Amino acid sequence: MGSELRLRTESRRNARFDTARPGNDEDYLLSRLRFDLTWEPSDWVTGVVELQDARIHGEKAISETRTPNIFADRLDFHQAYFDLGSLSAGGPATVSVRVGRQKLVYGSQRMVSPLEWVNTARVFDGARVGVAGPGRKLDAFATRLVPVNPTGLNDHGTTGSRMFNSQLHGVYYTDTALVAGGAVEGYWLLRRAARLGDAVHTVGARIDSRYGSWAFDGELAAQAGSFGGLKHRAALVHVGGSYATDLPGRLKLGTALNLGSGDDDPTDGVHGTFDQLYPLGHAYYGYMDFFALQNLRNAEVTVEAALPRRATLRVALQDFALLSPGADAWYNVGGAVVHRAGDAAISSHVGNELDITVRLPAGPVGLEVGYGRFFGGAYLRDANFALHTADFFYVQTMVGF
């Protein structure tokens, strides 16, 4: 048996860039309590049930009852699955099977993630089969995302969200034996929503390697199929690297470039906006959650340092620009449209973001404090946004039993 309690207070200012819009200024507390029970009747069978109660307190314009919901989910089944593991596949390989409500975690989580930052997190119903050998693993899965119903049991009723109405199937291969000190990954993913005319195929590859004090990771993905009944053609590019110095605090310097294609001509019958699927966008495209890797060029510089008492400091500076500012839209971390200009003359530069995060472990309790400041660029001025800056502050504690 186990449990986990997480509390996070958030304060947002100018989140809508307009004081007249609901939700522009918000202060609220998020609570998430989990209880889990693991049952192991034999060496190769495991059953897991996890209950979750997630709530939001003190909000003004945030819905506690809308389905799907990322803030609230009154006591419900979060995970419930059976594992059949360590079945011999001949030689050193083993086969494992997981069936039920579960989390999917792959690679850097840039494409598929349980999104633990969000108060309700993300789970899928379905089945997963894994074949593993020395340094290699191949997973195949057939699943459907579970929409969160904050006032009833979570099921697969139709929602107003394209992503929550979709199935996600895929094959993911990981090889840690091919490159010394790193991993090479390849994947095929299919997001399918027949009722909406969606069948988005994503084929991609990722490398993560380390050589002494240097680290490098890169990811490429191409998409084909259909989106809303239109032909879909899109792509993702990520390159990043870091260097761990011998300076005080074990200072680590990092940089990254991310590109997610946009639709440069909405009248040509081809949908070109990258479909971000189910990522951990919060970790990569600014902690203020203003951006998704859709119609986006994002550059990042980070500095990380160790502090006394095992604390850590992270400072990140982000730059955001739209690839097709006049033809396509600005999308937030959930893939929703923030603004669509419809003006070919509008600037592509949306702005910059500064994020400062301190993490401090204190015995069984983890403490995290973060501050973000957004500086609007020429796009906000060209589009006549009422405000051009925004602020985000949070304090989070988490304890497990």
The tens-digit pLDDT sequence of the chain (401 residues) is 999 999 999 999 999 999 999 999 999 999 999 999 999 998 889 999 999 999 999 988 888 888 899 999 999 999 999 999 876 655 678 899 999 999 999 999 999 999 999 999 999 999 999 999 999 999 999 999 999 999 899 988 878 889 999 999 999 999 999 888 899 999 999 999 999 999 999 999 999 999 999 999 999 999 999 999 999 999 999 999 999 999 888 999 999 999 999 999 999 999 999 999 999 999 999 999 999 999 999 999 999 999 998 999 999 999 999 999 999 999 999 999 999 998 889 999 999 999 999 999 887 899 999 999 999 999 999 999 999 999 999 999 999 88
Instruction: List the domain boundaries for the chain.
Output: 2-400
> What pLDDT shows up at residue 90?
58
CB of 209 closer than 8 Å to CB of 217: yes
Cα gap 357→262, rounded to integer Å: 31
> What pLDDT shows up at residue 225?
98
Cis-peptide, bond into residue 279, ω within 30° of zero: no
| Largest distance between two CA atoms of the chain | 66
Cα gap 233→275, rounded to integer Å: 10
Residue 308 φ/ψ, nearest 5 degrees: -60, 160
DSSP state of 229: T
Nearest Cα residue to 141 out of 155, 157, 123, 154: 123
State the pairing for strand pair 349-362/312-322. antiparallel
Query: Going along 290-388, which residue ranges are E strands?
Result: 296-306, 312-322, 329-331, 337-340, 349-362, 365-376
CB of 188 closer than 8 Å to CB of 197: no
Tokens 């990954």 appear where?
185
Nearest Cα residue to 121 out of 146, 99, 88, 91: 146
Cα gap 102→215, rounded to integer Å: 31
Cα gap 271→226, rounded to integer Å: 8
> What pLDDT shows up at residue 199?
98
Element containing residue 191 per DSSP (H, E)? strand 183-193
The domain over range 2-400 is classified in CATH as 1.10.10.10 = no
